């Protein structure tokens, strides 16, 4: 059974989502159409990449992901097919491959626009047409040319020094939890099981413990935990952390480690 996902900045108040779903189903009523998100900030390829990077692996092999963000095509910004783990991502050449899969093994193919293909709503015609060609069994190389010449951007990375990690907020979820770019692996590798302080908004708020759930502290208390993507998350139990702490994308989150060893703060992957 064919699966096509949609990740867009179209919101739900316009006709765009309905038009694309109708086009997909008119080709095959049995296609499964999955809405990943239509709430991406306008033209925010980085946000779309973050969301897809953290959920695509749950989909079956052969899934087609249409990325309808910053997707208007021109002669200078053509359509890319990104192949990763036997799944395919259709996007414009606006930085998505590197933002979604930094330092990972991917193949990228460029579809050169035909005479009548460069319209303002490419997701309705061209994206859907190429999706069904892939679903029919055609390989990306049969409908596009493999390339290494595409806009390459990478996510913002934390800076790491001896006993210090300077990270930033990269995503705020619907519960107002602030997800950072600090990974569990970096935390364990730099911290080596030592005591630490997490500084939120400079030195205004501090945390010295890693929780394992949102309810581990009392309602209204500040906490830090590693989420299902192994990224450090700043939250308030039963409260909107980003709103109350005035956190936004790129807000600084700093971790300073001491020389004192502690127990129960070194969380190994999978625990």
Query: Could you report the per-residue pLDDT of 111-144, keeping only the tens digit for each?
Result: 987 766 656 676 678 999 999 999 999 999 999 9
Quick check: 110 pLDDT over 90? yes
Please write the tens of the pLDDT for every residue from 60-91: 999 999 999 988 887 777 899 999 999 999 99
Quick check: 154 pLDDT over 50? yes
pTM of the model: 0.88
Domain ranges for the chain, please list them: 3-146, 159-261
Quick check: 265 pLDDT over 60? no
3-146 CATH fold: Rossmann fold (3.40.50)
pLDDT at 235: 98
Instruction: Report the interhelical angle of 16-27 vs 128-135 (nearest 10°).
Output: 30
d(Cα 84, Cα 53) in Å, to the nearest integer?
Answer: 11
In terms of DSSP bridges, do strands 194-200 and 178-183 run parallel, antiparallel, or are they unpaired?
Answer: unpaired
Quick check: 271 pLDDT over 60? no
Alpha-carbon separation of residue 130 from 19, 65, 93, 139 (angstroms): 17, 11, 16, 10
Please write the tens of the pLDDT for every residue from 202-239: 778 999 999 999 999 999 999 999 999 999 999 999 99
Q: Average the pLDDT over each of 83-92, 142-151, 253-262 and give the range with the smallest value.
A: 253-262
Q: What are the structure tokens assigned to 151, written together?
A: 């806009």
Q: What are phi and psi of 24, to 5 degrees?
A: -65, -50
pLDDT at 202: 72
pLDDT at 6: 98
Q: What are phi and psi of 168, to 5 degrees?
A: -150, 160
> Do the beta carbons of residue 225 and residue 213 sit within 8 Å?
yes
Q: What are phi and psi of 51, to 5 degrees?
A: -65, -45
d(Cα 148, Cα 170) in Å, to the nearest integer?
Answer: 27
Q: How is the chain split among helix, strand and coil, in percent rounded to 5?
A: 25, 30, 45
Per-residue pLDDT, averaged over 23-50, amounts to 96
Alpha-carbon separation of residue 208 from 140, 180, 194 (angstroms): 49, 16, 11
264 pLDDT tier (thresholds 50, 70, 90)? low
Quick check: 244 pLDDT over 70? yes
Q: Is 172 exposed, middle or buried (0-12, 13-18, 19+ CB in 10 A)?
A: buried
3-146 shares its CATH topology with 159-261 = no
Quick check: 47 pLDDT over 50? yes
Residue with the two structure tokens 């933002």 = 99
Architecture in CATH for domain 159-261: Beta Barrel (2.40)
Q: Is 157 exposed, middle or buried (0-12, 13-18, 19+ CB in 10 A)?
A: middle
């Amino acid at each position: 059974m064919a699966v096509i996902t949609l990740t867009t900045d179209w919101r739900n108040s316009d006709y765009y989502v309905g038009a694309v779903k109708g086009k997909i189903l008119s080709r095959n009523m049995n296609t499964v159409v999955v809405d990943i998100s239509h709430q991406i900030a306008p033209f925010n390829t980085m946000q779309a990449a973050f969301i897809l990077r953290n959920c695509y692996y749950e989909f079956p092999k052969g899934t087609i992901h249409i990325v309808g963000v910053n997707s208007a095509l021109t002669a200078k910004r053509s359509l890319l097919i990104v192949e990763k783990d036997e799944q395919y991502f259709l996007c414009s050449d606006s930085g998505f491959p590197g933002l979604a899969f930094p330092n990972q093994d991917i193949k990228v193919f460029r579809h050169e626009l035909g005479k009548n293909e460069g319209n303002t709503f490419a997701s309705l015609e061209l994206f859907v047409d190429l999706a069904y060609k892939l679903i029919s069994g055609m390989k990306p190389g049969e409908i596009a040319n493999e390339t290494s010449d595409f806009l390459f951007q990478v996510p913002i990375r934390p800076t790491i020094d001896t006993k210090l990690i300077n990270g930033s907020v990269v995503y705020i979820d619907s519960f107002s939890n602030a997800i950072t770019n600090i990974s569990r692996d970096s935390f364990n590798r730099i911290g080596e099981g030592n005591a630490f302080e997490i500084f939120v908004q400079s030195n205004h708020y501090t945390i010295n413990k890693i929780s394992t759930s949102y309810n581990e502290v009392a309602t209204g208390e500040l906490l830090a935990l590693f989420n299902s993507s192994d990224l450090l998350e700043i939250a308030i139990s039963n409260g909107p952390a980003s709103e109350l702490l005035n956190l936004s994308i790129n807000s600084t989150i700093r971790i300073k480690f001491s020389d004192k060893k502690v127990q129960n703060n070194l969380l190994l992957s999978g625990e």
